[in-house]
Structure 1
Amino acid sequence: MKILLVLGSIVIPIVMFILRKKWGKLHLTFNLLAIISALIFGNIASISIYNILVDNTVFMTKIHAIFLNPFFLITGSYLGVYILYLLLIFTIDNRDMKGKY
């Protein structure tokens, strides 16, 4: 399972990059998915923290329940892959800029 997670974090951004080169409109789709994921991810985190503060529960034990939320995990993993995808775009598109900064 660990190997699958590591390979997925390498292969998926590369596939996203290749798909972006073939179909330029997919870049907009990837960006919109990232915006939606960031909103969901942030809202789940903030609501969980708010509930902990309102309920006056122990923060460190209660906050880990957030990892049981599948939407939190899915959106967080997409954001992780998306950041790697953006770094790949930045690196490849700017490889010819050596010495121009």
Structure 2
Amino acid sequence: MKILLILGSIVIPIFMIILQRKWVKIQNLYNLVAIISALIFGNIASIGIINIINDGTVFMTNIHALFLNPFFLMTGGYLGVYLLYLIVLRALNDYK
């Protein structure tokens, strides 16, 4: 599983760049999905923290329940891959 995650973080951003070079408008889709992901990710995190503060529960044990939320994991994963995509894209553009 670890190898799959590592390879995915390398292969997926490169695949995104290849697709973006073929279809320029797909970059708009990447950006839109990143904005929506950031909103969902941030809202889930802030709601989780507000609930912990309001309930007066122990922060470290309850905040880990966020990691069980599939939307939190999917949006966070996409934001991670998107960030790598932007870094590689910027490096390629600076290299030219």
What's the TM-score bracket when you normalise by the shorter of the two chains?
over 0.9
Q: Structure 1 segments of 4 or more deviating over 6 A?
A: none
Unmatched 5+ residue regions in structure 2? Answer: none
Aligned equivalents of 1:82 and 1:41: distance in 2? 14
TM-score for the superposition, normalised by structure 1: 0.94
TM-score for the superposition, normalised by structure 2: 0.99
Q: Matched residue of 2:57: which SS?
A: coil
Cα deviations by residue, 1:47-100 (Å, 9 ceiling, x for unpaired): 00000000110001100000000000000000000000000110000113xxxx
Aligned equivalents of 2:64 and 2:70: distance in 1? 13
Identity of aligned residues (%): 67
Q: Does 1:16 align with 2:47?
A: no
Once the two structures are superposed, the pairs formed by residues 77-88 of structure 1 within 5 Å of their partners are: 77-88=77-88
Task: Kindly report the root-mean-square deviation, in angstroms, between the aligned alpha carbons of the 2 structures.
Answer: 0.5
The number of residues matched between the two structures is: 96
Aligned equivalents of 1:88 and 1:19: distance in 2? 14
Equivalent position amino acid for 2:86 in 1: L
Instruction: From the CA coordinates, give the structure whose radius of gyration is larger.
Output: 1
Aligned equivalents of 1:57 and 1:19: distance in 2? 46
Aligned equivalents of 2:91 and 2:29: distance in 1? 21
